[in-house]
Amino acid sequence: MNPVSFDMTQTPPAIAGTENLKPADCKRLWGASRELEAQFNSYLLGDMGKRLPGTSDSFGGQIYAGFFKDTLAHELASGQHNGIAKMMYQNLTQTLMKTEEAKKSLSQTQSES
């Protein structure tokens, strides 16, 4: 899977306090969160593609089965059926907000010295 295969222009969910963060950072975190959920879904689907009729007979069938599994995993992540991406995005944005606050506090302390 391409690590940036999700549409990065999609607006991430609203999280309280993220208005101080750069929109580009929020979009990147949202895309990464959705990609991780797709990877997790792909893992859960496991060898499902190998069980599709006619896919184990040829190399082309195996490639098709892999594409099918990856596409299905991305669609599941896009639909937010299990919400892993949203929970991860919330956690990542909170961590980023704390980091930004620490940077501001550090720069203020250094400028006062």
Measured CA to CA in angstroms, residue 25 lies from 9, 44, 48, 89, 99 at distances of 12, 29, 35, 11, 13
Note whether residue 109 is domain-resident.
no
Number of domains forming the structure of the chain:
1
Q: Where residue 8 falls among pLDDT bands split at 50, 70, 90?
A: low
pTM above 0.85, yes or no: no
Angle of helix 84-112 relative to helix 23-45, nearest 10 degrees?
140
Note whether residue 11 is domain-resident.
no
Domain boundaries, position 81: 22-101
Q: What is the pLDDT of residues 63-112, one digit of tens each?
A: 877 788 888 877 777 776 568 888 888 898 988 888 888 888 888 888 87
Note whether residue 106 is domain-resident.
no
Residues 86, 92: Cα–Cα separation, whole Å: 10
Note whether residue 5 is domain-resident.
no
Per-residue model confidence (pLDDT) at position 1? 41
pLDDT at 24 over 60: yes
Note whether residue 12 is domain-resident.
no
Note whether residue 111 is domain-resident.
no
